[in-house]
Amino acid sequence: MADILVAGETLVDLLPDSGATLHDVDGFSHRPGGAPANVAVGLSRLGADPAFWTRLGGDPFGGFLGETLGDESIDDAHVERVAGNTTLAVVSPPGVDDRRFRFYGSRDVTFGFDPDAVPTHALDDCSWVHLGGVALTHPDGRAAMRALAAEASDRGCTVSFDVNYRPDLVADGDGESVRDAIRSILADSDVAFASDEDVEAAGLSSSEGAALCRDLLELGPHTVVVTLGAAGALAVGSPESPWGDVTARHEGFTVDAVDATGAGDAFTSGLIARLAGGATDLDASLGFANATAALSVQDRGGMAALPTREAVEAFREERR
């Protein structure tokens, strides 16, 4: 497995216990989360040994997250401890036609990465760098992630980027700066991950399917992957990609879903594990990633439900 650096936020997901709306829920259960944190832990469970650059608050929630990352064999060499309170992501009950996440707490602690603390020395041993887009909603996070993506690209690392656009985290008057940062990182990226909702909300494309992928290819990556929820995933590679000029589609797997929190991150970790490990069959790699996501939705709590490589391989064998 190639050496991988993941960068981005670690936070706490508050999952509703019961109730039709947030107004009606009886209580919440706290779970470790944050898209990049989920990807890092997902890679670890799939057999990689990723480095992870993140920030943890000095509050009890930050302590909880630090212990969790340690239990998941994530090296703490690039895990920064800072004063202040951890961001909380309150998850809406299933079926609510509203925002899936509401964020509370200090944005400075969780998303305010120091541009002067970019771990460029970690790139000496990395061939793949993955970044999440949520940190771009903070001015310092934008500068730090842009600097990391540019440096990784200059050093010849494969750079992957999850757009993960969260408009409710974008401060008034800051939208154009965030969108500029997304375009800048896409220009330095090789592989882009997105949902069609991300892409439209960020003003990157109003197209769908393969046309959307081609719109994003024009912004810099050689491969674009669009997650389609229960409908699986679509990927398009340009002629410059390691897999060539190809369009791959996998319909996903039918399972009894319990909690979809973090399913996209499970998918991302599964695909990176395959591609960073040298796989060149994009169709088969999408199948592995979709199997990883399918297993993750069968239990509550995005990070806690991430599967091992052995579980993914066994699931795929059962579904052949």
Q: Percent of the chain, pLDDT > 70?
A: 98
Query: Residues 90-136: pLDDT tens digits?
Result: 988 776 656 678 899 889 999 999 999 999 999 998 999 999 999 99
3-state secondary structure of 19: coil
- How many angstroms separate the CA atoms of 126 and 123, rounded? 5
| Residue showing tokens 């209580």 | 27
Beta-bridge partner residues of 195: 227
**Amino acid present at 114:** D
Residues 6+ apart with CB under 8 A from 311: 295
User: Is residue 13 within 8 Å of 33, Cβ to Cβ?
Assistant: yes
Read off the pTM: 0.95
**Amino acid present at 239:** P
Q: How confident is the model at residue 260 (pLDDT cuts 50, 70, 90)?
A: confident
Nearest to 34 by CA among 55, 18, 58, 5: 55
Q: State the pLDDT at residue 1.
A: 43
Query: Residues 209-225: pLDDT tens digits?
Result: 999 999 999 999 999 99
From the number of C-beta atoms within 10 Å of its C-beta (0-12, 13-18, 19+), residue 26 rates as exposed
Query: Residues 136-184: pLDDT tens digits?
Result: 999 999 999 999 999 999 999 999 999 999 988 999 999 999 999 999 9
Query: Residues 154-164: pLDDT tens digits?
Result: 999 999 999 99
Tokens of 121: 């020395």
- How many angstroms separate the CA atoms of 135 and 144, rounded? 9
User: Is residue 33 within 8 Å of 134, Cβ to Cβ?
Assistant: no
Helix extents (H) in the chain: 35-45, 60-71, 107-111, 139-154, 175-188, 196-201, 209-217, 263-276, 282-296, 309-318
User: Is residue 277 within 8 Å of 243, Cβ to Cβ?
Assistant: no
Q: State the pLDDT at residue 144.
A: 98
Tokens of 262: 């973090």
Tokens of 142: 């934008």
Q: What is each CA distance from 9 to 22, 87, 159, 196, in whole angstroms?
A: 24, 9, 17, 22
Average pLDDT over residues 60-68: 97
Query: Residues 27-59: pLDDT tens digits?
Result: 898 999 999 999 999 999 999 989 999 999 999
3-state secondary structure of 213: helix
At 128, give phi and psi (nearest 5°): -140, 135
pLDDT at 234 over 80: yes
